[in-house]
């Protein structure tokens, strides 16, 4: 495996320190329990905890189990266990609090918040029922390369479907460009209306989508800084726009970090069982060895060496 081309230099630390709030800010670690955590999640955890610890932030744990067809309690338990084993302790919604339900940020518990957010957008005239399947969309816009998303052409906005025809809802986006300054990648400009079109917020089965859940949660849970892999960079513009429609005028700051890739250049996924943290643990790896290995593979250090979770801040502080 190798990191993608632009790795984070050690000097990033000084730059980050200048651009993050001085203290008292909040970020989150937000895995989806659709499989076991793998080295890619570990790279994300290193960035989330390392940057928060180095620059006065706190970490909230959110389990993103919006996809009711793919999430399993077994994976949720496993990710809590893996975090404890690694030594990454959230400051809010700690693993213990999560288990007992005292403070638990879990998307399947947040249905009321999503309903309220949707109702607000409906009152603002932004929402319409959508009966289009992916195949319907592709029929209109033509095939898109594997892994790319088609831009929704607005079929159902124009057709004005009966709300009882489906539970699926889309939110209409204005044709504006969104600019944001990624803490690592620099100035970005995206045009969500041209890139993805109106955003699906609830599907025909009544499931909330990732794009909607994450925006509502980042707003409600007062997340100031979003630290995640660069595979989600394309989602950021639409999330800023959705947040604005929900009343969030000042979006979070964003940092998108490089992903680990397989030797063939594919991003790691939960299907790569050989890189699941529990397999590696069962094979005898220590937590510190894995953290050091992940830090090296994503370019934070030149050569792997054991790093304790308590010391990941040193990877970012100058």
Chain residues binding ligand GLU by CB under 6 A are: 30-32, 64, 214, 228, 232
Rounded CA-CA distance 267/39 in Å is: 11
Distance of CA 80 to CAs 49, 66, 104, 212, 235, Å? Answer: 15, 17, 12, 24, 26
Structure tokens at 209: 């989508």
Nearer to ligand GLU, 64 or 203 (CB): 64
The SS3 assignment for 57 reads strand
Tokens 């033509």 correspond to what residue? 142
Nearer to ligand GLU, 156 or 215 (CB): 215
> Least distance to ligand GLU from the beta carbon of 288, Å?
24
Q: In what order do the strands lie in the sheet with 25-29?
A: 25-29, 57-63, 105-106
> Least distance to ligand GLU from the beta carbon of 41, Å?
7
> Least distance to ligand GLU from the beta carbon of 32, Å?
4
Residue 127 CA neighbour count, 13 Å, CB half: 24
Q: Are 44 and 228 in contact (CB under 8 A)?
A: yes
Rounded CA-CA distance 206/118 in Å is: 12
Nearer to ligand GLU, 232 or 296 (CB): 232
Nearer to ligand GLU, 188 or 314 (CB): 188
> Least distance to ligand GLU from the beta carbon of 164, Å?
31
Nearer to ligand GLU, 20 or 268 (CB): 268
Helix axis angle for 111-123 and 210-220, nearest 10°, is 100
> Least distance to ligand GLU from the beta carbon of 66, Å?
8
The SS3 assignment for 267 reads strand
Nearer to ligand GLU, 64 or 198 (CB): 64
> Least distance to ligand GLU from the beta carbon of 119, Å?
23
């Amino acid at each position: 495996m190798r990191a993608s081309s632009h790795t984070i230099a050690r000097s990033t630390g000084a730059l980050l320190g200048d651009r993050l709030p001085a203290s008292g800010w909040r970020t989150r670690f937000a895995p989806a329990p659709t499989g076991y955590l793998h080295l890619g999640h570990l790279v994300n955890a290193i960035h989330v905890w390392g940057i928060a610890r180095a620059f006065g932030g706190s970490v909230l744990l959110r389990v993103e189990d919006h996809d009711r067809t793919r999430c399993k309690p077994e994976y949720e338990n496993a990710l809590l266990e893996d975090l404890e084993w690694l030594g990454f302790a959230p400051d809010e919604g700690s693993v213990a609090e999560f288990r007992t339900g005292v403070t638990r940020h879990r998307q399947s518990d947040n249905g009321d918040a999503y309903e309220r957010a949707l109702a607000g957008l409906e009152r603002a005239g932004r929402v319409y029922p959508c009966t289009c399947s992916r195949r319907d969309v592709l029929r209109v816009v033509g095939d898109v390369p594997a892994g790319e998303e088609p831009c929704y052409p607005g079929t159902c906005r124009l057709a004005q479907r009966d709300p009882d025809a489906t539970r699926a809802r889309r939110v209409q986006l204005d044709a504006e460009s969104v600019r944001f300054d990624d803490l690592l990648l620099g100035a970005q400009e995206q045009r969500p209306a041209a890139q993805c079109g109106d955003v699906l917020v609830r599907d025909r089965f009544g499931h909330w989508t990732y794009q909607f859940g994450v925006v509502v949660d980042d707003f409600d849970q007062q997340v100031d800084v979003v630290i995640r892999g660069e595979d989600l960079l394309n989602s950021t513009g639409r999330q800023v726009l959705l947040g604005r429609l929900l009343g969030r005028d000042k979006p979070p700051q964003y940092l998108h970090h490089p992903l680990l890739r397989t030797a063939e250049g594919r991003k790691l996924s939960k299907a790569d069982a050989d890189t699941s943290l529990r397999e590696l643990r069962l094979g005898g790896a220590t937590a510190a060895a894995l953290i050091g290995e992940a830090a090296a593979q994503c370019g934070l250090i030149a050569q792997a060496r054991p790093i304790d979770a308590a010391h990941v801040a040193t990877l970012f502080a100058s």
